[in-house]
A and B are shown apart, each in its own frame.
Chain A
Amino acid sequence: MGSFGNMERDLENMRECFRQGRTKEATWRKSQLKGLLTLMKEKEQDIFKALQEDLGKHYIEAFRDEIGTVTKSLNTALESLKGWMSGRKAKLPKIALLSTAEIVPEPLGLVLIFSSWNFPFGLSLEPLIGAIAAGNAVVLKPSELSPACASVLANNLPRYLDRKAVKVFQGGQAVGEELLQHKWDKIFFTGSARVGRLIMSAAAKHLTPVTLELGGKCPVVVDSLPSSWEAKANFNLNNDVMVICLFDFFPTANQKVAVKRVLVGKFGACAGQACIAVDYVLAEKNFAPTLVELMKVTIKEMFGENPKETSSISRIINKGHFLRLKNLLKDPKVEASIVHGGSLDEDNLFIEPTILVDPPLEAAIMTEEIFGPLLPIITLEKIEDSVQFINSRSKALAIYCFTKNKSFERRMVSDTSSGSILFNDVIIQYIADTLPFGGVGESGTGRYHGKFSFDTFSHERAIGRRSLLTDFWFRFPPWNIHKLLLLESAYNLDYLDCF
């Protein structure tokens, strides 16, 4: 097995590099993070070109979702690295048997990152930042479905980073499978649940821990909102001036805000091809017509009369996915439920922003993750029914809910489960790096972003120290009742029990 042998040799060199301790040094980690910052700055144009080529992504989307976020994460990591590396003291009880106890993070070793094609830079570099900050040697396997972006990474990472400790392996399924045969200290995977299972099975052979960032059908619950021109200014006086300058001068109606956010969270998020994109809408029967009308108007405002002409919507990644989406609409009952859009251009891999109302729930469009610019609206008798609707399906990566009803808000938090839940907005939890980003159940296991990235690629080791001076004589055999009682009180700290 020639290539297995070659790969094993490369990986063994990387493991040796790790064992020598270079990647553990804080100076190394900082230099790599700085190197990435320089790469982002100097190669910005190449990155945009590659994203345009692979996905037809507009500069603003690319910046907003990938380049801006990665730059921010790099700055955060550089500022916080020292604090993250220092570990923390553990609480010791009153009658402490240990003189000190602390939890110290250490790198895992050689880690493998699989990234996906929809945010090829973001989903490669965010985990890479965590892995490097935590002191590991890293192999990155970008998706072959976004080849221009994979090339940019493969060509530039060795130039800006330590090529002995950080490597990029390009290729398709065969390369991925080959990588999985080797032993890793951690595998980080972003992609589908189907492949997630294969990855975890392969990892089990080596007892390799995994973080799986998968997907799911992320619902957005839209409660009936006021249409009047009220906008609660609930920021304090000091910030008012800046805020008014920052945002639209005239407050926008809640309904309009909600619709804009929902639409950008679908059609403005890589044309719906995002794990945290809005998948479908839940709304009350009475409210649905208003919602649909407002959506039609807003789509025109955002994308013009002829959305195909605008450069503001990404393409479908490839023919395979295009046909998959086309098939979702083939079912006559589904087709009949289209209220807006529906046109497809196979040559240009373009699908128009499409809205459907109440397609059949058994149809594929409502049982599978859509991952495209088709937005079903499911109507309910009352909005509280959305809790049961959501709970009867697999746990999603995110739940979105637009409402002004505080008790409904509380119910959504406590009665549904998802990776994260966001009120009155969509997607934006991705850049809130004080919040862990990850799934639960079918939507994944593990989390990252901010310090959570560092933690995900670290082992938190418990370290205790004792003095050799003092000793508890009652620890040692031969045993008798006096020793036992003393032992109990020492172990149980706060109370003495008599039998």
Chain B
Amino acid sequence: MNLLGLTAADIMDRVTKIESGGKAAGRWKLRALKVEAVYISLFHEVKTLNSVLSTSSHKNVGDPLFTLISQVKSSCKLALKELSRWMTPEKVKTSLTTYPSSAEIVSEPLGVVLVISTWNFPFLLSLDPVIGAISAGNAVVLKPSEIAPATSSLLSRLVEEYLDNSAIRIVEGAVNETTALLEQKWDKILYTGSARVGRIVMAAAAKHLTPVILELGGKCPAVVDSNINLQVAVRRIIAGKWACNNGQACIGVDYIITTKDFASKLIDSLRYELEQFFGQDPMKSQDISRIVSSSHFARLVQLLDEDNVSDKVVFGGQRDENQLKIAPTILLDIPEDSRLMQEEIFGPLMPIQTVEKLEDSFEIINSKPKPLASYLFTNEEQLKKDFVQKISSGGMLINDTILHVVAEGLPFGGVGESGMGSYHGKFSFDAFSHKKSVLYRSFAGDASVRYPPYTPEKQRLLKALTSGNIIAIIFALLGWSKD
């Protein structure tokens, strides 16, 4: 299918034709076309996307154009490829207890869903859920974040021009608009953002018994062992912090834990690699994102300047309020009760906490709410096993950072304070579907045991039938029974 040759108008044409045809078989085609439309919008609007996204705050792994758009394109492609398979009912086995019968689980759309996205990866975190919602057959309202206004208007225009506006809508705005949206009844809400607002969303949803997916955050720790290839590990840590929207990512590395003995080696390596990536003066580097807003800038400066914290800076600390830039900053052994160690940082400040032996890190991590992701760098198998056993988090990655959310076969979601529910890949389709159980029975094969009047013989046979055990059934039929 040559998508590039189609215009938005062509697609809408095809959509209308199928809708009026009313064929049930066309249903998947209908959804596929909608996903295609998202895909095509990306191709056609490359130049605009490029300019908008590069002037906005973030730069992450690779130029925003490529990686954010790549991710969205990748999601579209996957949905298009797999959609008909995802939509096929799943046949399930039935047991002797319901014999004769056949059963399947049918995925059906929930109805009209609300996607509220956030400001740090505004394009990706808006469209990825929307693709899931569309492929599951729902109508969608998207509320992008007002803190990323350029992307918000861009999305608004794209949705209007390329997508079916009777089924996909954008509502731009801030707190008032979001509050008004939350008063309505939705069939599902997917919210990406902070735990504080997550509570508000869930409380509003509770009034309508609306199920929710909350993608929140947390302090994602990276535990670093000494027996590793230090350069590789450090590069990956940097990729997961400063090269990822300068620390403003829910799955970014929030803080590091390592042994007392290893800390100075780690810091030296970090210093070296940071210079390789961002140059001698990181404030001048084009590859570092700025802080998204002055209020977040002020928040981060407050965290940094707190007593007993500001004197623990071992690297960086430079800031420029006019440009909203903060340099990559490393701190060593700040107090556990400092704000920097209690709150999610969401910025380029990296505390390194040291322990006697690495197993002690588990206590530190477990004393905090469960994070969205946790990272471990080690070659020791037992430590890996213990980490998996003892640490709970949304997702976990050994010897790298961030990448587990790119693997389409893995669900992306939190647990506890970091959220509930998950999406990505087929999990997106499932997230926005209702899995309906369908059981087909025959009129034949009627077991009289089910019906009153209830007799002792029926009692025995019923016991045997429920167990599904053939021997027991035969015994009961023949009048032999344990009771």
Contacts and interface: CB of A to CB of B under 8 A. Distances in A.
Interface of A: 19, 21, 24, 58-61, 63-64, 68-69, 71-72, 75, 90-93, 96-98, 101, 103-104, 106, 108-109, 185, 193, 196-197, 200-201, 203-205, 207, 209, 212, 214, 225, 231-235, 243, 245-248, 251-252, 254, 257-258, 260-261, 264, 268, 301-304, 310-313, 404, 409-410, 413-414, 417-425, 428-429, 431-437, 440-442, 444-447, 459-469, 471, 475-479, 483-485, 487-488, 491-495, 497, 499
B459 A246 contact: no
A414 B108 CA distance: 8
Given A312-B453, A409-B440, A440-B110, 18 more contacts: A59-B459, A60-B449, A63-B466, A204-B205, A311-B454, A414-B24, A417-B108, A418-B436, A421-B437, A424-B443, A432-B103, A461-B393, A464-B398, A466-B398, A468-B232, A468-B379, A468-B399, A469-B232
Contact of A468 (B229, B243, B454, B462): B229
Interface in B378-404: 379, 384, 388-390, 392-400, 403-404
A478 B284 CA distance: 12
Interface string B410-436: 111001110111100000000000111
A232 B442 contact: yes
B406 interface: yes
Contacts of A422: 438-439, 441
Given A72-B97, A103-B411, A477-B243, A312 B439 contact: no
A466 B396 contact: no
A5 B229 CA distance: 50
A425 B444 CA distance: 11
A287 to B, nearest CB: 16
Contacts of A478: 277-279, 285-287
Contacts of B103: 432, 434-435
Contacts of B159: none
A207 B399 contact: no
What are the nearest 8 A-B pairs in CB distance? A90-B409, A200-B206, A68-B466, A420-B437, A204-B202, A464-B404, A91-B409, A462-B410
Contact of B74 (A60, A257, A492): A492
A235 B450 contact: no
A401 to B, nearest CB: 10
Contact of B400 (A185, A197, A201, A466): A466
A390 B286 CA distance: 60
B466 A420 contact: no
B70 interface: yes
B62 A197 contact: no
Nearest to A471: B232
A103 B407 CA distance: 12
A68 B462 contact: yes
A260 B453 CA distance: 12
A256 to B, nearest CB: 9
Interface size class of B (residues with CB under 8 A): 35 or more
A58 B71 contact: no
B209 A441 contact: yes
A462 B466 contact: no
Contact of A312 (B106, B228, B454): B454
B94 A432 contact: yes
Nearest to B438: A421
Contacts of A257: 443, 446
Contacts of A413: 106, 436, 438
B416 A185 contact: yes
Interface string B180-217: 00000001000000010011001101110101001010
A462 B412 contact: yes
A459 B392 contact: yes
B98 interface: yes
Interface in B59-92: 61-63, 66-67, 70-71, 73-74, 77, 92
A476 B400 contact: no
B463 A491 contact: no
A479 B287 contact: yes
B376 to A, nearest CB: 10
